Amino acid sequence: MSKLSILTVVFAIFMASGCRPAAAPVSIGNTPVSVNGVQLKDAPSQPRRPLAEMSWTGFDGTVHKLKDFRGKVVILDFWATYCPPCIEEIPHLNALQAKYGPERLAVIGLHVGGDEDKPRVPDFVERLRISYALGYPEDDLTSFVFGSTNSLPQTAIFDPQGRLVAKITGFDARLKEELDRAVEKALGQNG
């Protein structure tokens, strides 16, 4: 067997084991799901309780609620260390946070990789130089945003009044443009 064939087999095994989820959510996707007045099959359903009351716990242990960010556009990005589209999306989220500033935009990365993935998080955050807030979402928030799909990443964009503007599943060049349009739309809403 040639060296190239051996390397190909080793690479394939590495990729298969590296992309396997540690916990639910169990898949990675690049399918857009927008919530712009049209309910799609895997768009969020009605929340179990008021959306403004849904929360996440920051890596520092502080509990935050969506209502704490009234007046700002909020991006909640659900990710895991084993998710290639998540890795691709993170530099763009850093750039959005830098472009609009913390007074206009709050980007929050919510880790959903499970307990098996948590030990990898500190090195992952350092390697990718994540510059925005990070936390762990409560189950109701995850259920609402994920709807009937558990693909990663899932990105929910909320306007300054806390209303869901769009939900995007996955990340690629086309979805990057959709994310940018959703943020621009949310920033343009005043009431």
Q: What is the DSSP string of 114-181?
A: -TTTGGGHHHHHHHHT--SEEEEE-HHHHHHHHTT--EE-EEEEE-TTS-EEEEEES-SHHHHHHHHH
Q: What pLDDT score does 7 carry?
A: 45
**Run of H or E residues at 11:** helix 3-18
pTM: 0.76
Which pLDDT score, from 0 to 100, does residue 20 have?
38
Residue 150 predicted with pLDDT over 90: no
Q: Which domain holds residue 72?
A: 22-187
Which of 19-23, 44-48, 81-85, 172-176 is least confident? 19-23
- The verdict on residue 1 lying in a domain is no
pLDDT at 149: 83
> How many structural domains is the chain composed of?
1
> Residue 12: pLDDT above 60?
no
Is residue 56 over pLDDT 60? yes
Domain membership of residue 10 (yes or no) is: no
11 found inside a domain: no
Domain-located, residue 147: yes
Domain harbouring 44, CATH code: 3.40.30.10
